[in-house]
Amino acid sequence: MQLEEKLLNGDKRGCAKLISMVENNDKEAIDIIKKLYNHTGNAHIIGITGPPGGGKSTLTDRLAKALRKEDKKIGIIAIDPTSPFSGGSILGDRIRMNDLSLDKEVFIRSMGTRGYLGGLSKATQGAVKLLDIFGCDYIFIETVGVGQSEVDIVKTADTVIMVMVPGLGDDIQAIKAGVMEIGDIFAINKSDLMGASKTATEIKMMLDMSDNMERRPPVLQVTAIKNEGIDKLVDEIKNQMNYLEESNELYERRKNNAKTEIIKLVEEDIINLILKKNESIGMLDDIAHEVAIKVLDPYTAKDRVFNSIKEL
Amino acid sequence: MQLEEKLLNGDKRGCAKLISMVENNDKEAIDIIKKLYNHTGNAHIIGITGPPGGGKSTLTDRLAKALRKEDKKIGIIAIDPTSPFSGGSILGDRIRMNDLSLDKEVFIRSMGTRGYLGGLSKATQGAVKLLDIFGCDYIFIETVGVGQSEVDIVKTADTVIMVMVPGLGDDIQAIKAGVMEIGDIFAINKSDLMGASKTATEIKMMLDMSDNMERRPPVLQVTAIKNEGIDKLVDEIKNQMNYLEESNELYERRKNNAKTEIIKLVEEDIINLILKKNESIGMLDDIAHEVAIKVLDPYTAKDRVFNSIKEL
Please judge whether B85 and A262 are an interchain contact, meaning their C-beta atoms are less than 8 angstroms apart.
no
Which residue from B50, B174, B298 is facing A262, i.e. has the nearest CB? Answer: B298
User: Among residues A85, A156, A98, which one has the least CA distance to residue A127?
Assistant: A156
Higher confidence at residue A295 or residue A117? Answer: A295
Mean confidence (pLDDT) of chain A: 86
Which residue from A145, A270, A298 is facing B267, i.e. has the nearest CB? Answer: A270
Q: Which residues of A83-94 are buried (b: 16+ CB within 10 A; e: fewer)?
A: bbbbbeebeebe
Higher confidence at residue B97 or residue A36? Answer: A36
How is residue A44 annotated by DSSP? Answer: E
Pseudo-torsion of CA B12, B18, B20, B22, nearest 10°?
-150
> By CA distance, what is A296's nearest residue in B?
B37
Whether A230 has a pLDDT exceeding 80, the answer reads yes
Please give the domain boundaries of chain A with CATH numbers for all domains: 3-247 (3.40.50.300), 262-309 (no CATH)
Please judge whether A148 and B149 are an interchain contact, meaning their C-beta atoms are less than 8 angstroms apart.
yes
Pseudo-torsion of CA A91, A94, A99, A104, nearest 10°?
-160
Question: Rounded to whole angstroms, what are the CA distances from B31 to A39, B3, B36, B40?
Answer: 50, 11, 9, 14
Question: Rounded to whole angstroms, what are the CA distances from A157 to A44, B52, B189?
Answer: 8, 30, 42
Q: Provide ipTM, 2 decimals.
A: 0.85
Q: Which residues of B52-69 are buried (b: 16+ CB within 10 A; e: fewer)?
A: bebbbbbbbbbbbbbbbe
- Is residue A68 within 8 A of residue A103, CB to CB? The reply is yes
Q: Which residues of A touch B262 (CB under 8 A)?
A: 284, 287-288, 291, 298, 301-302, 305
Count the neighbouring beta carbons within 10 Å of the beta carbon of residue B213. Answer: 12
Q: What local confidence, expressed as pLDDT, does residue B215 receive?
A: 85
> By CA distance, what is A91's nearest residue in B?
B174
How is residue B223 annotated by DSSP? Answer: B
pTM above the 0.90 mark?
Answer: no
Backbone phi and psi for residue B52, each to the nearest 5 degrees, phi listed first: -60, 150
Q: What local confidence, expressed as pLDDT, does residue B93 receive?
A: 44
Write out pLDDT tens, residues B87-139.
Answer: 434 444 444 556 787 888 999 998 875 555 567 788 899 999 999 999 999 99
Please judge whether A285 and B259 are an interchain contact, meaning their C-beta atoms are less than 8 angstroms apart.
yes
* Residue B249, burial from CB neighbour count under 10 angstroms (0-12, 13-18, 19+): middle
Q: Which residues of B touch A30 (CB under 8 A)?
A: 299
Distance CA A259, CA A277 (A): 27
> By CA distance, what is B36's nearest residue in A?
A297
- Is residue A65 within 8 A of residue A157, CB to CB? The reply is no
Which residue from A34, A85, A294 is facing B38, i.e. has the nearest CB? Answer: A294
- How far does A292 lie from chain B, in Å, by closest CA? 5
- Is residue A152 within 8 A of residue A82, CB to CB? The reply is no
Q: What local confidence, expressed as pLDDT, does residue B177 receive?
A: 60
Mean pLDDT to the nearest integer, A243-264: 93
Higher confidence at residue B30 or residue A90? Answer: B30
Q: How far apart are the first and last CA of chain A?
A: 40
Please judge whether B266 and A309 are an interchain contact, meaning their C-beta atoms are less than 8 angstroms apart.
yes
Q: Which residues of B touch A189 (CB under 8 A)?
A: none
- How far does B36 lie from chain A, in Å, by closest CA? 9
User: Which candidate in A85, A255, A269 is best for mutational testing of the B interface (most B CBs within 10 A)?
Assistant: A85
Distance CA B27, CA B156 (A): 23
Q: What local confidence, expressed as pLDDT, does residue B278 receive?
A: 84
Q: Which residues of B15-37 are buried (b: 16+ CB within 10 A; e: fewer)?
A: bbbbbebbbebbeebbebbeebb
Distance CA B209, CA A15 (A): 37
Residue type, A42: N
* Residue A95, burial from CB neighbour count under 10 angstroms (0-12, 13-18, 19+): exposed
Query: Which sign does the torsion angle of CA A65, A70, A74, A76 carry?
Result: negative
- How far does B286 lie from chain A, in Å, by closest CA? 9
Write out pLDDT tens, residues A129-186.
Answer: 999 999 999 999 998 766 777 788 888 899 999 999 887 655 665 566 667 788 999 9
Backbone phi and psi for residue B187, each to the nearest 5 degrees, phi listed first: -115, 115
pLDDT < 70: residue spans in chain B: 81-98, 113-118, 145-146, 168-178, 211-213, 312
Distance CA B131, CA A57 (A): 44
- How far does B297 lie from chain A, in Å, by closest CA? 6
Count the neighbouring beta carbons within 10 Å of the beta carbon of residue A112. Answer: 19
Q: What local confidence, expressed as pLDDT, does residue A176 receive?
A: 62
Count the neighbouring beta carbons within 10 Å of the beta carbon of residue A146. Answer: 27
Q: What local confidence, expressed as pLDDT, does residue B250 receive?
A: 95
> By CA distance, what is A29's nearest residue in B?
B299
Distance CA A297, CA A291 (A): 6
Please judge whether A297 and B37 are an interchain contact, meaning their C-beta atoms are less than 8 angstroms apart.
yes
How is residue A193 annotated by DSSP? Answer: S
Alpha helices in chain A (DSSP H): 3-8, 12-23, 27-35, 56-68, 89-94, 98-101, 119-134, 148-154, 171-174, 196-209, 230-246, 249-281, 283-292, 298-309
Distance CA A294, CA A142 (A): 45
- How far does B192 lie from chain A, in Å, by closest CA? 22
Own/partner long-range contacts of B241-247 (Cβ < 8 Å, ≥24 apart): B241/B44, B241/B158, B241/B159, B243/B215, B244/B158, B244/B159, B247/B214, B247/B215
The number of residues making up chain A comes to 312
Q: What local confidence, expressed as pLDDT, does residue A270 receive?
A: 85
Q: Which residues of A touch B90 (CB under 8 A)?
A: 174
Q: What does the DSSP assignment read for A93-140?
A: HHT--HHHHTSTTEEEEEE-SSS-TTHHHHHHHHHHHHHHHHT-SEEE
Q: What does the DSSP assignment read for B122-140?
A: HHHHHHHHHHHHTT-SEEE
User: Among residues B263, B258, B139, which one has the least CA distance to residue B250?
Assistant: B258
Distance CA A38, CA B281 (A): 27
Give residue A59's pLDDT band: very low, low, confident or very high (50, 70, 90). Answer: very high
Sheet containing B74-79, strands listed edge to edge, beginning at the edge strand earlier in sequence: B106-111, B74-79, B138-143, B44-49, B159-164, B185-188, B219-221
Whether A187 has a pLDDT exceeding 60, the answer reads yes
Residue type, B31: D
Distance CA A7, CA A5 (A): 5
User: Among residues A113, A23, A122, which one has the least CA distance to residue B178?
Assistant: A113
Which residue from B170, B255, B271 is facing A263, i.e. has the nearest CB? Answer: B271
